[in-house]
Each structure stands twice: as C-alpha cells, then as structure tokens.
Amino acid sequence: MFLGANSGRSVHFGESVRRAVLLLLLVLQASPCTGLALPKRLVLGLDGIAYRDMKSLQQGVVCTNIWGRPFRRQAFTSSEGYFPASRLVSTFPSTSDVAWTDIFGDRPLPGYQRTYFSAAANSQIVINGITTTMEHESQMNWQLQNNMFRTMGYVYPVHTYELEIHEALRNFWNDMDNNGGYYVYIRATDDAQHLDRDILDMLCGLDNQLQAMRDRYRKQAGRDLQILILSDHGHNHASSFKRVAVRSFLEKAGYQIMESIKNPKDVVLPTTGIEDWVEIHNAPAATITLVPLLTHLEGADLVTGRVPDQPDRFLVMNSRGERADIDWNPANHTYRYSTEKGDPLNYQPVIETLAREQLLDADGFATADAWMAATLTNHYPLALERIVRGLTRVTLNPATILISLNNGYVHCGFLMQKGADLSTFGSTHGALDNLNSDGMVLSNFTPTRDTSSKRVAGLFDDFSDVRNFRAEENGAELVTKTEQALTRIAREPFDSDYQVLSSNEVYLRVWSPQLAHLDLNAPVNVTIEKVNHFPNPQNHRLVSGPAAALGRHLTFNQPVAFSDPPAYERVYALPSDLVLKPLTEYRISGWIRGQSKSLNLFEFDFHTDGRGRPAAY
C-alpha cells in the first residue's frame, strides 16, 4: 500500500495490480536506463598538487601533531583501489592557465597569465584573474563561479576548498543524464599551498569524502565509480622567499620598463601573483645581449631565449655563465642539445645515454619522446621540449626571454610583496625544476604512467567528453586561422573547419543556444565603441551586460559557409573597411532580435593593431 497524495488515507490494491506493479519494477531494473544515468567517471582537476606529495601520502607519512606526538597519514592507497600516482610534468612556465590549457589540448591562451603582452596590439593587457573564466574552466561540469568565494580563496583557502569539494560532489549527484565523465576544477588547493596550509591534511579529507561517495555510488548505480585525479604543476614548499629586483636590475643596465615596445631598450614585464619565474618581452635583436646579462640577476637559476633570426634555435644559460643551444626540428618533433660552455642543464649524461641506446640521429637529434623517457627524473625534466614550447607554443604571445628562478626567490609586484608579508607565505611554482613542474595523475580504474601536460589527454581518449559550453552558453570571440591551427585536440567542428578561413583576416565567432532556433542568415547586430577608461575586469569571451547603445553599428547576416556547422554557432568575416584608431581598446557587444525584445549575446573588449584593425589576441 502507499499513502495517497491527496486523500490522506491508506489505499489498497488488489492482488493482480500488485503483481503487475512488481513485474513492471523488475522490467525497469533489468532494462538499461539511458536517460537517468549518473556519470561513470569523476575527473578531478586539483590545482597544484605535487607528485612528491601524493606519492608520499600513498606510501604513508609520519607527521607530528600540536602536542609533539607522531602520527601516520596515508590516503589513496592500493587497498582502496587506487593505482600508484604518476608524474604529470607541467609546461614551462609551470603555471595554471597554460598547463591546464595544454592538458586539455585547447587553443593556447593569449598569455601565460591574465596580464599579458599582446604583440599585435603592442600593449600590455590586464584581465582580472578572479572575475574571468578561461576555456579550460568553461569545459568543466563544475567549478567555483562565485567571484566573492574565489576571492576568499586567497584569504581562507581551506574553507574555500571545503566549499568547492562539497558543492562539486553535491552537484555530481544531480547530473542524471551523463554517461561519460563529470569534470571538476578545484582552485583552492593551489591557494592553500601558497599560504602554507596543510595540503596533506586536505588530501586525506578528500580521500575520506571520495570513499563515502564511492560507497553510495556503488549502492545506487550498481557499479564502481571511476575516479581520475589530475594536477597541473607541483609546488616547491620553500619556507622563505626573497623578491628578485628584476625591474631595478634592468633599469640600471639602461633598459626601460614599458607597456609597449617602441625602442631597442624597451622591455615589457607582465607581472601577476607571486611565482618563481619571469617573462620578458623585448625587441628580438636585444635577446642575445639580455640573456647573458640576466644570468647576473640575483635569484636567477636559468635564463632561456629564442635566438633572433633563427626561429628554431634557442639558448639557455645558468647563473654560472654556462651556455648551451637547443635546436628544434618542428617537422620531425626532434631536439638537439649542444653545449658551448659548461652544461647548464646537466644533460651531458643524458646525451651519452641516448647515444649508447642509438636514439640520436646523425646530426645529434632525438625525438621528444626519447628525451622525455631519458629526463623524467632529471632535475629539469623534459627541459628541451618545455623550453621550446614555452617560447613558441603554449601561448599566442610568447615571451622572448623566460627566466627560471631558484627556489627561495620570487617575482611579484611591490604591493603583492607587501600583502604577502602580512600573511604566511609558504610555497610557489612556475620554475623549470622538478619541484615546481611535477604534477600528478592518479586513477582507481587503470594504471597510469609518467607523462606530460601535452601527452596526458592521449591516455584518456583525449578527454573527449568535456563539456561543450558553447552549445549551452552565450558568448563570442575574435579568431584567426593562425591561432585556431594551434588547437591540439579537435573536439568541435570549427576546430577543423577553420582551415577554410583566410590567413590574413580576423573573424567574429558567436555562439548561443538561441542561434539554434534561428535561420542561418538571421542578423546579429553589433556595436563597437571606444573604451575610455582603464580596461575593465570582465571576461573577454563570455556574456556581460546589455548591448551598448552608442558607437559604430554593424549587422552580420552572412556567416562563413562550412560543410556542417553546429546550429548554435556562427563565424563572420569582419568588414574589410572596419578600420579603427590604431593601438586602442574598444568594446564590442552583440544581440539578436527576439519576438518581444532584444536578446544580448556577448560583450567583450579588444585592442586594435598598428593598422587600426581588431587584434584577435
């Protein structure tokens, strides 16, 4: 019997009805329920968890409590069904945005961080790191979107972390139409280590929560929950730091710290956060002089740069003045390391091993995979590939010089340093060495192996089931054929269709579920207006606020013809006569006409190049 919804009285069924209901329940239990299926896999992206920390936690760590008594911590063990953690070597610099972008094979971001130098606009561009969302974050099924709580992660990281885990796992149970992976991005694990919180205790708590989750999942779904945990870089856990005086060092040498490059001694020094690496943008001809000069900067460990007029040759020097060249064959994806003075990477033993195993060709080149296998446990893992990619591929605006600092030194702004002095600052990342670079990958459903940010997706079907946010959200961006070609993993039609675009043009890419209900040639109305104040902290790709009422007005109704475009997306060529004020910031907003009102689709800021044409990045 059951309690009737409205009568409040017990309702009794006959024997034949009870048998029919029982038969129906048995049929439903035996039949696959495709519409109400929990995700089969939980993919947790934990920012900044070091391989050495996870490995030690799996093996067991003896710690001391506040009373001085030893106790043992252990988590993610084989008895719980987890396989041994493996290294996931990060990008160089080993920072979050570029590393996560590389892990998911997305198109490179405009800069290493959200304050970056745009070569096309010849300007340093500042984007708020708290209120903006990058592509890899939008691909998540869950991430912390509340700006206030994101900010609190820099003050109360453990509380923010607990909130992130609680909300992520709670929302997992609400995703009843997902037969693939449920992707979660947790930021506060990185914040906590910067602020010297107990990351091992936090991981032990996560292990307990995941164990409870697996028990519930097994009862509810009748199978084991697959868990994959990834991290993007390591943490050096250095206990004290000294700020490198790179600005004054360069100024004493006669260089000017600017926001654009107009003269031979102008340099741009984008600075965000507190990390142990430095990016420098300078006139290419100055690189040969600057690299040896910067080896005398206190705190510099390695200085790397691209050799002017030789796009496939790079130099690396250390603080002792030792120098080597790195030659890259992009067609064969091979590298050669040639020492000129000393051995700044200590790779001579590696070369001897490769030669002994006959892995060097006649010119001394070896494949990227051969170098990886030979250097995974080196102090500078995968250094040749990571230096080259750091100076060419991991961002759309690569630096001319990248500096890896010694642990114990950091690069940051003056105010950031003063803020850090008021709190307990205990760790950072970004450098080329293994402490900073070795993130990790951990699974309970398949053994893993040591890998890198560029390769890990290949171990898991290229993460083919990440969320296609463009089918669900409104937004737009400026794109070019050149930048889109750098997307490593093609997931959307445009990732292949871009090849029909003209090489020298900038295009407006618009997406919205609303477009799926409109004719392909339905007009998209656009307004462009000059920004007359300091760049506002808004996401340059996603929706923000109403369309502008003033400025230049355009109507787009003839999208580029692709073979099979998604219904939710349009790509438009910008008018050839769209020429604005050179090297200036503008805001573009777009909307479509609804039945009773206008529907805002996007708003973002962009800069123009020296010709007055919009710069995509």
Task: Give the tens place of pLDDT for each residue, 486-544.
Answer: 999 999 999 999 999 999 999 999 999 999 999 999 999 999 999 986 544 444 444 44
CA atoms within 13 A on the CB side of 406: 16
Contacts of 506 (CB under 8 A, 6+ apart): 478, 479, 480, 574, 613, 614, 615, 616
pLDDT, position 13: 34
Residue type, 86: S
403-436 burial, b at 16+ Cβ within 10 Å, e below that, comes to: bbbbbebbbbbeebbeebeeeebbbbbbbbbbbb
Contact 395/97 with Cβ under 8 angstroms? no
Contact 135/107 with Cβ under 8 angstroms? yes
pLDDT, position 550: 58
From residue 90, alpha-carbon distances to 234, 345, 394 in Å are: 8, 17, 11
Long-range contact set of residues 211-217: C-beta below 8 Å, sequence gap at least 24: 211/80, 213/42, 213/169, 213/172, 217/38
Tell me which residue has tokens 């029909």.
500
Alpha helices in 272-429 (DSSP H): 287-294, 348-356, 368-375, 383-390, 414-421
CA atoms within 13 A on the CB side of 105: 18
User: What is the C-alpha separation between 442 and 229, in angstroms, rounded?
Assistant: 5
User: What is the C-alpha separation between 508 and 616, in angstroms, rounded?
Assistant: 9
Residue 453 has what DSSP assignment? T
Contact 375/255 with Cβ under 8 angstroms? no
SS percent in the chain: helix, strand, coil, step 5: 30, 25, 45
Contact 615/607 with Cβ under 8 angstroms? yes
CA nearest to 450, candidates 458, 462, 441, 463: 441
Residue 526 has what DSSP assignment? E
Cβ atoms within 10 A of the Cβ of 306, count?
25
pLDDT, position 4: 33
177-198 burial, b at 16+ Cβ within 10 Å, e below that, comes to: ebebbbbbbbbbbbbbbbbebe
pLDDT, position 19: 46
From residue 415, alpha-carbon distances to 245, 256, 497 in Å are: 14, 20, 46
In the numeric block, which tokens belong to residue 282?
A: 């300078």
Name the region of 44 (left: φ>0; alpha: ψ -120 to 50; beta: rest). beta
Ranges assigned E (strand) in 190-294: 226-230, 242-243, 256-258, 266-268, 277-282
Residue 515 has what DSSP assignment? G
User: What is the C-alpha separation between 514 and 519, in angstroms, rounded?
Assistant: 11
From residue 452, alpha-carbon distances to 81, 102, 105 in Å are: 24, 9, 12
User: What is the C-alpha separation between 150 and 296, in angstroms, rounded?
Assistant: 38
| Residues constituting the chain | 617
Average pLDDT across the chain, whole number: 90
Sign of CA dihedral 382, 386, 387, 388: positive
pLDDT, position 225: 98
Residue type, 319: S
Contacts of 277 (CB under 8 A, 6+ apart): 92, 93, 94, 95, 402, 403, 404, 405, 411, 430, 431, 432
Ranges assigned E (strand) in 210-318: 226-230, 242-243, 256-258, 266-268, 277-282, 300-306, 313-318
258-274 burial, b at 16+ Cβ within 10 Å, e below that, comes to: beebeeebbbbbbbbbb
In the numeric block, which tokens belong to residue 549?
A: 């009422």
CA nearest to 164, candidates 181, 189, 139, 182: 189
- pLDDT above 90 covers a percentage of the chain that reads 81
Name the region of 566 (left: φ>0; alpha: ψ -120 to 50; beta: rest). beta
Contact 333/300 with Cβ under 8 angstroms? no
Low-confidence ranges of the chain (pLDDT < 70): 1-36, 414-424, 533-550
pLDDT, position 419: 53
pLDDT, position 541: 47
Alpha helices in 43-89 (DSSP H): 51-59
Sign of CA dihedral 219, 220, 222, 223: negative
CA nearest to 330, candidates 313, 349, 316: 313
- Chain centre to alpha carbon of residue 295: 29
pLDDT tens track for 242-281:
999 999 999 999 999 999 999 999 999 999 889 999 999 9
pLDDT, position 18: 44
CA nearest to 93, candidates 488, 437, 407, 337: 437
Looking at the DSSP assignment, which residues form a beta bridge with residue 603? 589
Contacts of 517 (CB under 8 A, 6+ apart): none
Contact 316/344 with Cβ under 8 angstroms? yes
